Amino acid sequence: MSFAEFLHQVGGMGRFQIIHTMLLTIPVVLMASHNLLQNFTAAIPGHHCQVHIDANNTRYANATLHLDSQDLLQVTIPMDRNRQPEKCRRFVTAQWQLLDPNVTEPNGTQLDTEPCTEGWTYDRSVFTSTIITEWDLVCNLRKFRQMAQFGRKAMLIWSFLQLAVMGTCTAFSPSYISYCVFRFLGGMALSGFGLSIACLIVEWIPTQFRTITIAITGFVYTLGQILLAGLAYGIPNWRWLQLTVSLPFFFFLIYSWVARVNGKREEGEKITTEILNSKMQKELSTVKSSYTVSDLVRTPAIRRIFCCLSVVWFSTSFSYYGLAMDLQNFGVSIYVIQLIFGAVDFPAKVLVTISMSYIGRRITLSAFLLLAGLVIIANIFVPRELQIVRTSLAVIGKGCLSAAFNCVFLFTTELYPTPIRQTGLGFGSTMARVGGIVAPLAKMLDEYFSFLPPIVYGAAPIISGIAATFLPETLNQPLPDTVEEVESRSRMKRGEDTKEKIPLQNQEKVLLRETC
């Protein structure tokens, strides 16, 4: 008797599983908020150097009292090529001649300019406060904005506590350095409770309900993205927004003692230690063996699975957060694009669930990754004036990557055998975290060439889509219980391929003899 059979005996999909899944998926809503929070807490509002008028020149200093803000900008701040005020430089002295309608501004190189030595003026009509406005992370400090993004039961409880504390501390950060440290530690907690929730859900749900349960968890994460748009719109101050999505995790700590009854008390009491020992020999034999991380690369079939999945996890996360963390680049309302980016996940995850069930995991994963990469790269060739087209392509790419995330999670649990399944899933999650950490840094390449980030973000899923084709298909296959079982399946597959070729070769020889 397997653990799945025991699970069915004590209630199957009963009250415990429903409450268990519901309580574990509620925090996933705010997991999305923490992952994408920096789109709003680190949003870059419109800005320019503080206006500087020579106080010693009384005539012109008094004249400023009669100028409107637009005229004042015209004489103190040079215009960029889009006829917008320069963000990082100002005139050394006020250029009063520019107020004359018959005088056009000469080339910027002909007028003396200087950096914003006295600070910046920010447009606070949308964001009243962000870490950008608080610590002036603009111009030569703009790269620090990208660098600020991060990077079973007992582990879950600790992760909730760590995220609650670190998230709250982030809201009260006195400096940019402390903000980065708290965000980094909060990111570590996100990884911990994300993996713990996934394992706890999968392990306690009957086999026939696992696919739909994982899909529901994905939909909950999508709801979290939509919720974030509403929260950010209603709370424009970054400290209050950070606090709002962090304090609920103190409440989630009570999950450690909730849900213990499944309506099958009598059946559960019949299962003793002796029964478990006598009927679950296969599961117990895998526990008795010692397995380490080295088992992920020790044998050929597992090694191939490990290498391909590592590439897929890294690339999917890398490109996903490359798109999701750069919402201001699309030229439309950041709240609207966050809402659209969240909403696209619903049809994408429905489509990937259907495709996985009927076409298979391998083809589905590869197809979604390849399509994501192609549409991201295609955006390079779309003029910036066509914002609707650019945004539509980005939304399609993000939806494909979100679908790939759902697929690779289920695929990973089915490819690895029971003794190293959690280790393999954990390493995959780690590679995803690394991809998420590297993604904002790749955005810094646009300081040199604007087309480099989309090329990198697009090439990554294309490469991983090709790597996914080397994975074995698991549709309608039972979960492997041992490493030897995975290796045996791989050898049998190669043997079947060889056997298929031999009859064809023999048939050619017979036809050749008959012809002669």
Single out the residue of 240, 258, 366 nearest to residue 309, CA to CA: 366
The predicted-structure confidence for 266-311, as pLDDT tens digits, reads as follows 444 444 555 545 545 555 555 545 667 788 888 899 999 999 999 9
Q: What is the mean pLDDT of residues 357-373?
A: 93
Burial of 43 from C-beta contacts in 10 A (0-12 / 13-18 / 19+) = buried
Which has more confidence, 85 or 22?
85
Residues 484 and 421 in one domain: yes
Q: Has residue 94 got a pLDDT over 80? A: no
pLDDT of residue 467: 94
Query: Residue 215 — pLDDT band, cuts 50, 70, 90?
Result: confident
Domain that holds residue 106: 47-122
Q: Is residue 131 part of a domain?
A: no
Query: How many beta carbons lie within 10 A of that of residue 259, not counting itself?
Result: 17
Share of the chain above pLDDT 70, in %: 70
Question: What is the C-alpha separation between 199 and 428, in angstroms, rounded?
Answer: 13
Q: Residue 134: how many CB atoms within 10 A of its CB?
A: 16
pLDDT greater at residue 154 or residue 146: 146
Could you tell me if residue 25 is inside a domain? yes
- Give the pLDDT band of residue 73 (cuts 50, 70, 90): confident
Would you state the pLDDT for residue 316? 93
Q: Best-predicted range by mean pLDDT among 93-107, 205-219, 275-289, 356-370?
A: 356-370
Residues 20 and 73 both lie in one domain? no
Question: Does residue 346 lie within any of the structural domains?
Answer: yes
2 pLDDT higher than 50 = no
Same domain, 116 and 162: no
pLDDT surpasses 70 at 108 = no
Q: What pLDDT score does 68 carry?
A: 61
92 and 233 in a single domain? The answer is: no
The residues facing 237 across adjacent strands are: 129
Domain presence at residue 363: yes
Highest mean pLDDT among 145-154, 443-452, 506-515: 443-452
279 within domain boundaries: no
Instruction: Give yes or no: residues 322 and 458 share one domain.
Output: yes
For the record, the structure tokens of 333 come out as 């309302």
Residue with tokens 């749900």: 205
- Of 61, 92, 122, the position where a domain reaches its end is 122
Where residue 139 falls (left for φ over 0; alpha for ψ -120 to 50; beta otherwise) is left
Q: Assess whether 16 and 146 both reside in one domain.
A: yes
* pTM of the model as a whole: 0.68
pLDDT at 498 > cutoff 50:
no
* Residues 26 and 54 both lie in one domain: no
pLDDT at res. 118: 83
Q: Report pLDDT for 306.
A: 93
Residue 67 tokens, joined: 């100028």
Give the domain-ending residue among 232, 259, 286.
Answer: 259
Same domain, 85 and 144: no
Asked whether residue 195 falls in the same domain as residue 70, the answer is: no
- Give the end-to-end CA distance of the chain in Å, rounded to a whole number: 61
Please tell me the predicted confidence (pLDDT) of residue 263. Answer: 46
**Is 284 within the bounds of a domain?**
no
Q: Do 217 and 342 sit in the same domain of this protein?
A: no
- pLDDT over 90, % of the chain: 12
* pLDDT for the residue numbered 331: 67
Higher pLDDT, 267 or 353: 353
Q: Taking residues 382-404, what's their average pLDDT?
A: 87
Instruction: Answer with the one of 122, 151, 168 that is the final residue of a domain.
Output: 122
278: tokens are 């006598």
282 in any annotated domain: no
Query: Which DSSP helix (H) or strand (E) runs through 47?
Result: strand 47-49
Helix/strand/coil percent split, the chain, to 5 = 70, 5, 25
pLDDT at residue 516 in the model? 42
Looking only at Cα atoms, what is the longest distance across the chain? 111
Q: How many whole angstroms separate alpha carbon 253 and alpha carbon 26?
A: 12
pLDDT band at 109 (very low <50, low <70, confident <90, very high): very low
Q: What is the pLDDT of residue 448?
A: 77
Q: For residue 268, what pLDDT is reported?
A: 44
In this prediction, residue 146 carries a pLDDT of 64
Rg of the Cα atoms in the chain? 29
pLDDT of residue 260: 46
- CA angle 336/341/345 to nearest 5° reads 140
Confidence category of residue 119, pLDDT binned at 50, 70, 90:
confident
Q: What is the 3-state secondary structure (H, E, C) of 337-389?
A: HHHHHHHCHHHHHHHHHHHHHHCCHHHHHHHHHHHHHHHHHHHHHCCCCCHHH
Same structural domain, 156 and 253: yes
- CATH code assigned at 322: 1.20.1250.20
Q: How confident is the model at residue 262 (pLDDT cuts 50, 70, 90)?
A: very low
Kindly report which listed range (130-134, 152-156, 371-375, 395-399) carries the lowest average pLDDT score: 152-156
Residues 313 and 432 in one domain: yes
The encoded tokens of residue 159 equal 């992760």
Would 290 be classed as within a structural domain?
Answer: no
- By residue count, the chain amounts to 516
Q: Lowest-pLDDT range, 34-38, 321-325, 326-330?
A: 326-330
- Distance between CA atoms of 259 and 515, rounded to whole angstroms? 76
**What is the C-alpha to C-alpha distance for residues 11 and 261, in angstroms, rounded to an integer?**
10
**Number of domains the chain is built from:** 3
Q: Give CA–CA dist 198/207, Å, rounded.
A: 14
pLDDT at 87: 85
Q: Is 260 exposed, middle or buried (0-12, 13-18, 19+ CB in 10 A)?
A: exposed
> Hey, which of 11-25, 57-71, 416-430 has the most confident mean pLDDT?
416-430
